[in-house]
Amino acid sequence: MVDSNLYVKSTVDSQIVVVVYVDDIIFGGHKDEMCRDFAEKMQVEFEMSMLGELSFLLGLQISQLKEEIFIYQSKYVREMLKRFTMEDCKPVSTPMMTGCKLTKDDASPSVDHTTYRSMIGSLLYLTASRPDIL
């Protein structure tokens, strides 16, 4: 009911979860047979290619082990820092100058609003999947 792109099919002994995002379909379940049947039906209905195990999606890197799944975004962060020419910046605990005085009239150059919005949007996307840095 919450996400119209998420579908779940359950039977007595198995379950498959399908996520549709634009032109990507991601699916998985705990029974290989159910996943194969779904893939075959989708390939008959739509032109699609099977890329195998999910390892990258929408800036998320996914590493799957037998009993665990790890999701991380180090590649997304590196690309974001490069895009905003910040790849050589040093990490700090407080991302703001301390002890500075703000004034209403400043002689500093104007901010490029498009770049600023893009930067904030990138950070918002990053924090959506990383509550520890929110």
Structure tokens at 48: 């699609």
Find where tokens 């490069």 sit: 82
Per-residue pLDDT, 119:
92
Strand partners, 15: 10
Please, where are the H alpha helices in 1-134?
32-45, 74-83, 113-128
The Cα–Cα gap between 82 and 128 comes to 20
Q: Where are the domains of the chain?
A: 1-51, 53-90+110-134
The whole-number pLDDT of residue 85 equals 92
Helix (H, G, I), strand (E, B) or coil at 22: coil
Give the pLDDT of the chain (134 residues) as one tens digit per residue. 566 788 899 988 889 999 888 878 888 888 888 988 999 998 888 888 877 888 887 778 888 888 888 888 888 889 999 999 998 988 887 777 778 777 777 677 788 899 999 999 998 888 887 777 76
**Alpha carbons 19 and 27: distance in angstroms, whole number:** 6
Predicted confidence at residue 3, as pLDDT, reads: 63
pTM comes to: 0.62
Between the CA of residue 83 and those of 55, 73, 75, 118, what are the distances in Å?
A: 23, 15, 12, 10
Q: Is residue 41 within 8 Å of 90, Cβ to Cβ?
A: no
Q: Residue 114: what pLDDT? A: 93
Spatial separation of the C-alpha atoms in residues 134 and 74, rounded to whole Å:
16
